[in-house]
Each structure stands twice: as C-alpha cells, then as structure tokens.
Amino acid sequence: MAEQAFTPRVFSGIQPSGGLTLGNYLGALKRFVEMQEAGTYETVFCLVDLHAITVWQDPDKLTHATRELAAFFLACGIDPERSILFNQSQVPGHAQLAWLFNCVARMGWMGRMTQWKDKAGKNSENASLGLFAYPALMAADILLYHATHVPVGEDQKQHLELTRDIAAKFNHDYGVEFFPITEPVIEGPATRVMSLRDGTRKMSKSDPSDMSRINMSDDADTIAQKFRKARTDPEPLPETYADLKDRPEARNLIDIYAGLADTTADAVMAEHAGAGWGTFKPKLAELAVEKLSPISAEMARIMADEAEIDRVLARGADRACAIADPILTRTMDVMGLVRGS
Ligand code: AMP
Ligand code: TRP
C-alpha cells in the first residue's frame, strides 16, 4: 500500500475514575483547549470508561464520574462542536480494535509497563486481565482515529511508545503503511504537577493526604489553606529557575504558578526573585482561585442538566464512529477477516 498522508489529528483520553485535580487541569485539559483553539488539528477527546473498569468501579459512581468529567471538559472550554467529545464505551470500535491489537502486542511488552507493575504490584495474579491489556486498548483508542498527536502527562510516555510499537509491528507484519506512528505531545511548564506535601511525588487523586493536592472541587478557602501549608524550604526565591535545581517543592510551586498564569517558569522567577514564601504563596493561592473558581462554578451549572450532558456525549459518539468505522473496517480487511457485504 502506498504511504498515506495522515490528517493532523489529536486524540487524548482521561479516565472517569473520580476526583479531578489541578494536575489534570494543567497537565491535560488546559493543553487540550489550547490544541482545540490552535485550529491546526482535528481534536478528539474521550472519557475512557473502559480503561476505568480495569480496576473495580462502583457502577453508580462510575456513571456520576463520567458525567462530571464531561462537565470538566466543557467547563474548561472544550467546544463539542469544534472538538469531538464522547465516552469510550459508546463507540464499539475501541473494544474491537483493542482485541485485534491484543493479538499484535507481545506479553513481554505489556509486562514491562511501569504502570502495570505499580498498579498490580505483588498481587498481579489477582489483577484483572484488562489491567494487563490496558495499553493495547490505549493504542486502539489512538489508532482507531489515525491520530497523529497525543497530548498527555509525562507518566503516559511509556504507553505511547508501546502504541508506536504496535502500529509499527502491525504495519510491518501486514506489509502496509496503515497506522501512523503517533507523536506524544508532552510540553508546557506543568506536565508533571507534584504533590504539595512531597515534591518528588506526582499530585494524584489517590494520595491518602487531601492536603497533597488541589481538587477541582475545592473552594477558595481550601485552596488558600493548601498552598499556605504546602511544604517548602526556608530559603527565599532565587534569581533563576536553574537555581532551584535541588529544591523540588519550590520548583513545583513555580511550575504551578507558570502553568496557571500562562507564562514560563523563568518569567515567574524574574518577577518574584528575592520574595519569601510568605509573600509568594498568597499570590499563588489568589491566582489559583481566580483561574479555578470559574471552572468549578461552570461544572456545577453543567452538572445540573445530566440529560444535556448525555446528549452531548451521544452526539460525540456518533461523530467519533464516523471516523472510526472505516478505519476499523480497513484494519479487518488488511487482516483477512471476512465481512458480508
Ligand atoms: P489520570 O487522572 O491519572 O487518568 O490522568 C489524566 C490526564 O491528566 C493524563 O493526561 C495525565 O498525564 C494527566 N495528569 C494527571 N495527574 C497529573 C499531574 N500530577 N501532573 C500532570 N499531569 C497529570
Ligand atoms: N492511560 C491514560 C491515563 O491514565 C488515559 C488514556 C486512555 C489515554 N487512552 C488514551 C490518554 C489515549 C491518551 C490517549 O491518563
């Protein structure tokens, strides 16, 4: 098959497993909106409910978290007309292509995934088969749309390499140039927002300490209190970002500020050099409240009409299928799977 030119298309997904944080906003949503606004790509965003159920999810909570995540996308500025927004389980092609990729990917590749090792831990015998196969489903999400660019946080880099490996092996085994070799997009000052209690660990919804993270649902007082109590060192801010090399907690707060203010870490340093934490932290809290409060208010407004959210997702799923179906059909043809006509 002749090499084909791929439409510049962004795909990314977030799991509706509850508890959205500042990390999800700065590391994912804010960048998704920028890519939508840039107008250079078609943008496809997915609430990956099939990924969420690789670990136990209470059904009612999953339903709620899916709608809440949709509200988060919309409140941050994803426009369901300009972007495609839907939940994964409404587009059957994800599970279908994932099966085909289960037969392309190798056990050894999956076993090397650090997320698998972290999540399954010592208890891997008892982990779901879905958790092991998770990266093949993720590759299917991306390649079902022939996506060329995938914005994610640093933690997903290894899964994207595996996606490239699956695409390359499929193309090689079947002698085609059918799937694109997708580019990860990991950029911006806040691709890895760290815990407010420990600058060496990622800010995460699963951290036992609520003080370690800013939740999208936190009110202004809580946000201010969490930044006030954020762990730092006693030194004031130096002249340059490079001078923060051995100060992970300090660096994290600067990165967060830069992400929220839409500027660079160097610019934040230039503005605040010499300041103590007693001065910087309240400014950071004020900025965070200014940026996050309108989003949480808008989420609450959107959540008041669940039927409308469901309509948006159903329409997104229809538009997603329109791209996905021909790609899945072509994949099956390439593999020699017979279809009636
Ligand atoms: P998760 O909530 O872990 O499924 O992550 C959803 C998206 O948010 C992915 O693109 C992650 O890489 C990103 N993300 C989650 N936590 C952080 C964080 N602390 N810093 C930067 N990005 C994050
Ligand atoms: N594994 C990603 C995460 O936990 C979520 C995800 C699933 C995803 N499918 C994707 C991200 C496709 C980007 C592209 O964050």
Is the CB of 191 inside a 6 Å radius of any atom of ligand 1?
A: yes
Identify whether 202 is a catalytic site residue. Answer: yes
User: 9-191+305-335 belongs to which CATH class?
Assistant: alpha beta
Q: If you measure from the C-alpha of residue 312 to the centroid of ligand 1, how many angstroms do you get, rounded to a whole number?
A: 24
Backbone angles phi, psi at 256, to 5 degrees: -60, -45
Identify whether 291 is a catalytic site residue. Answer: no
Domains of the chain, by residue range, sit at 9-191+305-335, 210-301
The CATH number corresponding to 210-301 among 3.30.360.10, 1.10.10.10, 1.20.200.10, 1.10.240.10 equals: 1.10.240.10
Q: How far apart are CA 47 and CA 14, in angstroms?
A: 5
Is the CB of 193 inside a 6 Å radius of any atom of ligand 1?
A: yes
- Interacting residues of 252 by C-beta distance below 8 A, sequence separation 6+: 193, 194, 196, 199
Q: Give the number of the ligand closest to the Cα of residue 26.
A: 1
| Residue having the nearest C-alpha atom to atom 15 of ligand 2 | 14
**Pocket residue to mutate for ligand 2, from 21, 35, 44, 48, most atoms within 8 A of Cβ:** 48
Q: How high is the pLDDT of residue 4? A: 67
Q: How high is the pLDDT of residue 202? A: 92
Q: What is the DSSP code string of 221-248?
A: HHHHHHHHHS---SS---SSGGGGTT-H
| Residue having the nearest C-alpha atom to atom 11 of ligand 2 | 13
Q: How many CB atoms lie within 10 A of CB 55?
A: 15
Identify whether 119 is a catalytic site residue. Answer: yes
Q: If you measure from the C-alpha of residue 15 to the centroid of ligand 2, how many angstroms do you get, rounded to a whole number?
A: 7
Q: How high is the pLDDT of residue 333? A: 97
State the pTM of this model: 0.95
Q: What is the DSSP code string of 84-127?
A: EEEEGGGSTHHHHHHHHHHTTS-HHHHHT-HHHHHHHGGGGGGS
Reading the block at residue 283, the tokens are 């400014």
Q: What is the pLDDT along the chain (341 residues), one digit of tens a residue?
A: 445 689 999 999 999 998 999 999 998 999 999 999 999 999 999 999 999 999 999 999 999 999 999 999 999 999 999 999 999 999 999 999 999 999 999 999 999 999 999 999 888 999 999 999 999 999 999 999 999 999 988 889 999 999 999 999 999 999 999 999 999 998 876 778 999 999 999 999 999 999 999 999 999 999 999 999 999 999 999 999 999 999 999 999 999 999 999 999 999 999 999 999 999 999 999 999 999 999 999 999 999 999 999 999 999 999 999 999 999 999 999 999 998 87
Q: If you measure from the C-alpha of residue 14 to the centroid of ligand 2, how many angstroms do you get, rounded to a whole number?
A: 6
Is the CB of 27 inside a 6 Å radius of any atom of ligand 1?
A: yes
Q: If you measure from the C-alpha of residue 138 to the centroid of ligand 2, how many angstroms do you get, rounded to a whole number?
A: 6
Q: How far apart are CA 35 and CA 42, in angstroms?
A: 9
Residue from 157, 169, 205, 283 carrying the catalytic annotation: 205
Q: How far apart are CA 121 and CA 114, in angstroms?
A: 10
Q: Do 9-191+305-335 and 210-301 show the same overall fold? A: no
Q: If you measure from the C-alpha of residue 29 to the centroid of ligand 2, how many angstroms do you get, rounded to a whole number?
A: 13
